[in-house]
């Protein structure tokens, strides 16, 4: 007997992925892809100092935000 899968909204998966890459696949019960994406997100954020830059921008220190980021560890680095 064939089991029917519960309907999963693509819009909800997109919103979860906007919160943090990897949450969309977790929502769709694709745990391996979700874990890999979450792991890559943390590695890129930690190595590029993106989190520190975000904190500086929330505090209003815009000049410090650009000096803290290591652009070679982001997708925009050359």
Q: Would you write out the chain's pLDDT as a tens digit for each of its 78 residues? A: 556 778 888 898 888 888 888 899 999 889 999 999 999 988 888 888 888 888 888 898 888 887 887 777 555 555
Is residue 38 included in any domain, yes or no?
yes
Residue ranges in the chain assigned as alpha helix (H): 10-19, 23-27, 31-48, 50-59, 62-68
Is residue 2 included in any domain, yes or no?
no
Is residue 26 included in any domain, yes or no?
yes
Identify the domain containing residue 46 by its residue range.
10-73
Is residue 45 included in any domain, yes or no?
yes
Nearest alpha-carbon partner for 19 in 27, 9, 7: 27
Is residue 18 included in any domain, yes or no?
yes
Number of domains in the chain: 1
């Amino acid at each position: 007997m064939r089991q029917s899968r519960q309907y999963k909204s693509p819009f909800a998966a997109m919103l979860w992925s906007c919160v943090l890459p990897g949450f969309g696949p977790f929502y769709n019960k694709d745990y391996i892809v979700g874990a890999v994406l979450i792991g890559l997100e943390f590695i890129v954020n930690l190595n590029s100092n993106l989190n520190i830059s975000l904190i500086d921008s929330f505090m209003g220190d815009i000049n410090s935000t650009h000096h803290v980021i290591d652009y070679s560890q982001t997708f925009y680095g050359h």
